[in-house]
Amino acid sequence: MDSASFFSPQAGRQIEVPRKLSARFAIGDVVRHRRFDFRGVIFDIDPVFANSEEWYESIPQEIRPRRDQPFYHLFAENDESSYVAYVSQQNLLQDGESGPVEHPQVPELFDEFDGERYRMRRALTH
């Protein structure tokens, strides 16, 4: 199998990644969770699951996502709070038409919402 690897601090180990994987969403996209009532803006992408085993095992088995898909780091929000979420691709839907995300960390990485998505702050791109 043709693959690459990277070190994940969250997992504490090297993560093998098949070269043929592709992410459906991009940094700056506004998404909604398919099952739970929250939405957010993507600020990082892992090509496959790269969190701790404890985190993975804490998800009930009947809804536990596959490991071999992209996982997204979100500045997430619901009606009660703002937080950081780690979500599998299979559990996300596009949601830019619902407007901007009000998470307090969004302005640290992104410029204004353009009606569909956020653009990374120019000083943070290379």
**3: part of which helix (H) or strand (E)?**
strand 3-8
Q: Look at residue 2 in the predicted model and tell me its pLDDT.
A: 63
Q: Which domain holds residue 108?
A: 3-124
Strand segments, DSSP code E, in 59-120 are 71-77, 82-88, 92-94, 110-113, 118-120
Q: What are phi and psi of 100, to 5 degrees?
A: -70, 160
Is the model's pTM score more than 0.85? Answer: no
Share of the chain above pLDDT 90, in %: 71
Kindly tell me if the per-residue pLDDT of 95 is higher than 80.
yes
Give tens-digit pLDDT for 3-37: 676 676 776 766 676 666 688 999 999 999 999 99
Kindly tell me if the per-residue pLDDT of 116 is higher than 70.
yes
**For the chain, what is the domain count?**
1
Kindly tell me if the per-residue pLDDT of 63 is higher than 60.
yes
CATH of the domain at 53: 2.30.30.390
Q: In whole angstroms, what is the distance from residue 37 CA to residue 112 CA? A: 24
Q: Please compute the mean of the pLDDT values over residues 99-106 and round it to a whole number.
A: 96
